[in-house]
Amino acid sequence: MFRRFVRRGRPTFTAYLIALSIALSAPLLVFAGVLSHKLADRERAEVERGVLDAASEIRRATDDLVAETVAGLRILAASRSLWSSDLSPFYAEALVAGRELGGHVALAEANGERLIYTRVPWGTLLANEDGGATVETVVRTGAPSVSGLFVSPQTGERMVSIAVPARAGDVTRRVLSLEIPIERLLAVIRETGVGAPHWGSISDANGIVLARSEENAVFAGRRLPGFDELTEKAGSWRGANFLGVPVFGAYERSDVTGWTAGVGISEDVLLAPLAASRLRLLGLGALVLAVTTAVAFPICQDIASNFARLTDMAKRLGMGQPLEAPAIHVAEAHTIAAVMARASTHLAHRSERLREAKDELEARVEARTRELTEQTALLQTTLDHMDQGLVMVDEDGRVSVCNRRAVDLLDLPEDLVARNPTVAELHAYQLENDEFRRAEDAERVKELYGGGAFKARLYERTRPNGTVLEIRTVPRPEGGAVRTFTDITARKTAEAELARMARHDALTGLPNRTSLRERLDERLAEATRHDRPFSVLCLDLDRFKIVNDTMGHHAGDVLLCQVAERLRQVVRREDHVARIGGDEFVLVCPDGAEGSGAEALARRIVAALAEPFLIADQTIAIGVSIGIARGPQDGAEIDDLLKAADLALYRAKADGRNTWRAFSPEMDAAHLERQMLEIELRHALARGEIALAYQPIVDIETGAVTAVEALCRWTHPRLGPISPARFIPLAEETGLIAALGEYVLDAACRDAASWETPVRVAVNVSAMQFARGDLHASVVAALSRTGLPADRLELEITESALMDGPAVLDLLHGLRRLGVRLAMDDFGTGYSSLSYLERFPFDKLKIDGSFVKKITRPETDAIVRAIVGLGDRLGMTITAEGVETEEQLRLVRDVGCGEAQGFLLGRPGPADVIAQRLRRDRSKAA
């Protein structure tokens, strides 16, 4: 059998025909396989598209449910019976609304206390918690809120909550919510038509499953596998489900609730079309191979027999034997036999074929000529569309090439360029049109237009119309040259702008620190050579940090730009104003007699910046402190001059701000003294120089000591007692206040724990202790170490510590949960104390001593009475500070203060003295 296909080590024609048949069937198999695979991919794509559409449908249905619920709750919140003292009518309305909305309605106060819950009968005692802390969120934001999954404290059901604010005026007083069982969400999924083999789910913003169409009871409350990978608003993913089964899923995140709607399907279902495609392909391949073999094998045998006869004829023809035409029924084989018989006839036609070959060659030459012509046209088009201008001069000094870009850049006439002018003609035309205004430009072009040998050259030239050209000359080996023209105007403009930006402030457009130092260098040089004194004014905005902290950095940037514009309007042309960072500005101005010009300029600046600013529809009032130094009198070097101006600025701030001060040598000495005091303060704690004194706070009616305030005292071994008015501000500026505060807190708790009488001890807390974020831990540690009960510790907080808003609020609530009492110190001296009373949980208000000192005035008396009335309504204790006379004591008693503190009632003393007074008070009471 094998010999039929291979003879003498070579394959027979039959083998080739069989191979050809198989090869011809291969494309059919490939085509069928590709078609089948594409059909399978299309089926799978349709399934995936269906999964994506189903996820989008669930998301829309969920958003509709939430929108309907919010609308229904808002309608219910508009009911007048909500604010009635008897809420039973509102309970009936809530029952009806709950049934219509598919959930249980709850009404809660802003503090979380529940008033109504329709899941339980009217009058049932209600828990004060709500699912997901939605009450707190709605009260804080004043907007509707959606909770995560939670268990109802009343019924134990798993559900989610949708809440809306109920406002009285502009204030959220109560919160109305609908608690929806997760079965309602499961119904939403099923109503969209999601079913086997798919499963759908709804999860909250943290990936916790709220409802799932399959085995909801098992998977609700669990976190979706791979949820952290779902970073887009919508999309698909592949991974494993809760059971570890490979799945394909799609999701879409809601902008309304933050929930994620997802639909999944097993990868086995997606791959089913591909598996079916492979089976179809195998069946088709087997069928094609069987048909090919059945049809091709007999044909191959017949063709092989005919070729065997022709082979025999060729052998006989080679041996010179006569030939007879065999009986061959295959047309191709019959033709071969006829060709061998008519070989001489073909020789007669050879000359005709040669003529045909000549004609073909001529046609090819013509086609090549057309091709070269087209390439020449393409080259010309390329030259005309180059970004660079190009001029080519031949060895005879004639312009052989001048592209369109060169004509445009050089403003050359079309008729001049069209006649291929000489370089001399081109040069003459440009001279007539005043092209080379600068002498150096004319010299540079002489070598090109003067007929001499060309040299490689690169230079820049500015045309009369302002265009800047980069011109490059490249000599040609055979003579002549190529010159290119590049328009670099934009690059030069950008470089100039970069140079300007490097010396100017990006926000305000004013010169920056680099430009300032350059100007100071110039002024100092002029002052030395020509005796031209000048002044340097250092400006620092007052209350700028308050604007930044309360209105945000964008508002701060807007304010800085407005300040810069006012400074531009105030300064003279010869003055130089720069912004060197933050809210710091520096002005350099020439001096009049004895610096009068600088003081006049400072006066104008203070007046200009005292005018209110309008930012985001709010009127902002700031000020400016200015320090003035004269150069070179106060400093022959830049840094010395700026340091002198800074010292003067520091003095202006110390003297009350919104003013100016000129430098004097005494300021330098004061600065050195302050630095020495800072160094000594850093060692004072370690050396035990800091001690505590305690001032009594007494009950006005009984005279008994109810609390003591811990006050810091510093006795230096060489300098003696140092006033707290000196070292406390220094500690706050240098950051030492944190360590000092921890020491005071620990020492005060330890002393108070040792007293027999359980009075409270009050400790002042600085803003920096809040900013560090570890105040809660410090209080817990001090109470733990000393054993002092938390309710005997009272923290006094000034308004500056409350500027961080939510972060401070969380910290204060944490301290209240410990049992620590909170007091607002120096109340009435800040900018927004009333708003703080509403937002922060204070137990006590301490009226500042400045009010007590002027309480005999009617207007001050009215203010103090208003504060006392406000504190009473908020349930706070009112303490009057700075009581020094019997009349002041009588007046603060008359206005309703419960406690008083001052020299009249007791001066600060050490812990043992306070302990003795407490024992005496205890004995009198006994």
Label the pairing between strands 793-797 and 844-847: unpaired
CB 658 within 8 A of CB 626: no
What sections of 419-512 are H helices per DSSP? 423-432, 439-449, 489-502
Summarize pLDDT for 546-561 with one digit per residue, the tens.
787 668 889 999 999 9
The vertex-366 CA angle with 362 and 367, nearest 5°, equals 115
* 386-493 matches 677-925 in fold: no
Q: How many C-beta neighbours within 10 Å does residue 583 have?
A: 20
Average pLDDT over residues 728-745: 82
Half-sphere CA count of 683, side-chain side, radius 13 A:
7
Summarize pLDDT for 897-925 with one digit per residue, the tens.
999 999 999 999 999 999 999 888 888 76
Mean pLDDT of the chain: 80
- Distance separating alpha carbons of residues 350 and 345, to the nearest angstrom: 9
Paired tokens of 516:
């300032």
The vertex-63 CA angle with 59 and 64, nearest 5°, equals 115
DSSP state letters, 657-705: SSSEEE--HHHHHHHHHHHHHHHHHHHHTTTT-EEEEEEEEEETTT--E
Locus of tokens 């001049």: 416
* CA dist list (Å): 438 to 435, 455, 489, 908: 9, 21, 18, 86
Paired tokens of 28:
């059919």
Summarize pLDDT for 81-127 with one digit per residue, the tens.
888 888 888 888 888 888 888 889 998 888 888 889 888 888 777 77
Summarize pLDDT for 50-90 with one digit per residue, the tens.
788 888 888 888 888 888 899 988 888 888 888 888 888 88
More confident residue, 426 or 507: 507
Architecture of domain 503-663: 2-Layer Sandwich (3.30)
- Indicate yes or no: pTM above 0.75: no
CB 417 within 8 A of CB 407: yes
Q: Which candidate, 844, 858, 843, places its Cα nearest to that of 891?
A: 858
Q: Which candidate, 781, 799, 876, places its Cα nearest to that of 836?
A: 799
CB 398 within 8 A of CB 420: yes
- Distance separating alpha carbons of residues 326 and 591, to the nearest angstrom: 128
The conformation of residue 926, written as its DSSP 8-state character, comes to -
What's the gap between Cα 566 and its chain centre?
Answer: 32
- Distance separating alpha carbons of residues 13 and 1, to the nearest angstrom: 15
Domain spans in the chain, listed from the N-terminal domain onward: 185-267, 386-493, 503-663, 677-925
CATH number of 677-925: 3.20.20.450
- Distance separating alpha carbons of residues 879 and 368, to the nearest angstrom: 108
Q: How many residues does the chain have?
A: 926
Position 684 confidence tier, pLDDT thresholds 50, 70, 90:
confident
| CATH of the structural domain 386-493, one choice from 3.30.450.20, 3.30.360.10, 2.115.10.20, 3.40.718.10 | 3.30.450.20
The conformation of residue 805, written as its DSSP 8-state character, comes to T
- Distance separating alpha carbons of residues 556 and 508, to the nearest angstrom: 12
Is 599 in a helix, a strand, or coil?
A: helix
Position 831 confidence tier, pLDDT thresholds 50, 70, 90:
very low
Position 719 confidence tier, pLDDT thresholds 50, 70, 90:
confident
Would you put residue 563 in left (φ > 0), alpha (ψ -120 to 50) or beta? alpha
Paired tokens of 305:
């027999």
Summarize pLDDT for 299-341 with one digit per residue, the tens.
666 666 766 676 777 767 666 666 666 666 556 666 666 666 5
210 phi/psi in degrees, rounded to 5: -95, -35
> Which CATH class name applies to 185-267?
alpha beta
Q: 259: burial class by Cβ within 10 Å (0-12, 13-18, 19+)?
A: buried
- Distance separating alpha carbons of residues 327 and 45, to the nearest angstrom: 61
Q: Which candidate, 886, 836, 830, 878, places its Cα nearest to that of 856?
A: 886
User: What's residue 497's pLDDT?
Assistant: 67
Amino acid at 565: E
- Distance separating alpha carbons of residues 586 and 505, to the nearest angstrom: 13
More confident residue, 702 or 444: 702
Q: Is the pLDDT of residue 220 over 70?
A: yes
